Structure 1
Amino acid sequence: MKNRKIQHCVEVFGGIAWLLLYKDTLHLTDIQKAAGTLIKYGWSFSGQGTSYAFEVLNSAQTLISKISELRERFRNLAISNESFEKCIKRWDQENTFLYLDPPYFGAENVYPGINFGVEWHVLLSELLKNSKATWMLSYGDHSVIRELYKDFHITEATVKYSGLANSKKHPNTPELVITSPLHTQKKLNRSAKTT
């Protein structure tokens, strides 16, 4: 009985597990990329994509349930796979909420293949300063970021990354949650109530 369940699990994940190792993502469909990302962040240790663990007995049903739950939760959500410049310009409307999570300043080397220098951080802050949308931005706590967004609401938060949660060697990591001006948020609340 146990072998049958393991085989079923292998069949379910075998068809998409190769996506995790596939380097040439230009030839993948958006659905294939999404499936690979779901597996990477849902089942790999700390979302790193280097080692994986999941319950054999319930993995297939769990994945199906999660996809169904996400589909309902994000029914009216638009996810853009484009530069932040294009995304902000396209969605820059008063009734829009944008969440941005750029590469953290000073930690850009953590993101392979991404060249996100100081000029990109400055450009992002300039676009958001002039945006009509309500937005929220998460960043690692850094003096350069605090200076770029000093005119906005900044909330300090501490995070213990899941892969390090049980380790006493790794303290909480300071992060910032930066939000658009309050008057923009009030406009969004008014439009949400009338629709």
Structure 2
Amino acid sequence: MTRPETLTDIQRAARFYYLQQNAFGARIEGQSFGTATTAPPGLNLLRLEESLSAAHLRLASTFIEHLSWQDCIERYDRPHTLFYMDPPYWQTEGYGVPFGIEQYEQMASMLAKLKGKAIISLNDHPDIRRIFAAYHIETIDIRYTVGGGKGSDAKEVLIFSWDVEAEPAGLF
């Protein structure tokens, strides 16, 4: 196997795209692969150019930054900004980066100082509810499924940095 650090940026991007298209559940860590006789493979090389062109069009006016969430907020916070924040879920694994409880506490503190607005999605956990208790929290029932399996029911929370009751359509 070729070591990723020996590849060019383009080769690494192609490798990543290939692995993501073929991995079970698009997992980055602990990828597993399977085969089936009843479904086509995840990556159709005959439509590769079309898929990449569609991605190009969708991302044409998008900025991609490699910043910490703190630096991103500091750089882009304006009265008209909406941040959608999807940090690692508390007490879960597989993200490949450390994200301790102090990061959620810092996030809650930064929400109070925002010029813009933020929506945070997280798993429904007592620690998360305690940390973000000062904000409007909505509970969402979801079903986690991967690969068409039976799935499992769970709850997530959406945390809003503003008073959605006083300003329900504040985004538009």
Verify the 8 A CA contact 2:24 2:147 in the aligned structure 1.
no
CA displacement 1:64-114 (0-9 Å, x = unmatched) = 32322233233333232211111111111122222211111111x3323x2
Pair 1:164–1:67, CA change in 2 (3 A): closer
- Which of 88, 107, 112 pairs up with 1:103? 88
Q: In the comparison of the two structures, how many residue pairs are matched?
A: 163
Structure 1 residue 60: Cα displacement:
2.1
User: CA RMSD of the aligned region, Å?
Assistant: 3.2
Secondary structure, aligned partner of 1:163: coil
Higher strand share: 2
> Quick check: 1:127 aligned with 2:110?
yes
Structure 1 residue 35: Cα displacement:
4.4
Structure 1 residue 130: Cα displacement:
1.4
- Which of 30, 51, 57 pairs up with 1:66? 51
TM-score if structure 2 supplies the norm length?
Answer: 0.74
Structure 1 residue 45: Cα displacement:
0.8
Where do 5+ consecutive residues of structure 1 fail to align?
Answer: 1-16, 190-195
Q: Distance in 2 between matches of 1:136 and 1:166?
A: 30
CA displacement 1:136-171 (0-9 Å, x = unmatched) = 21111111111222232322223333316422xx52
Verify the 8 A CA contact 1:105 1:140 in the aligned structure 2.
yes
- Which of 124, 129, 144 pairs up with 1:141? 124
1:156 corresponds to? 139
Q: Distance in 2 between matches of 1:64 and 1:120?
A: 40
Q: Distance in 2 between matches of 1:129 and 1:33?
A: 40
Matched AA of 2:122: Y
- Deviates most, 120-129 or 152-161: 152-161
Verify the 8 A CA contact 1:46 1:163 in the aligned structure 2.
yes
> Quick check: 1:174 aligned with 2:155?
yes
Verify the 8 A CA contact 2:82 2:118 in the aligned structure 1.
yes
Matched AA of 2:131: L
Higher helix share: 1
> Quick check: 1:46 aligned with 2:31?
no
CA displacement 1:115-137 (0-9 Å, x = unmatched) = 21111111122122211222221
1:116 corresponds to? 99
Where do 5+ consecutive residues of structure 2 fail to align?
Answer: none
Secondary structure, aligned partner of 1:178: strand
TM-score if structure 1 supplies the norm length?
Answer: 0.67
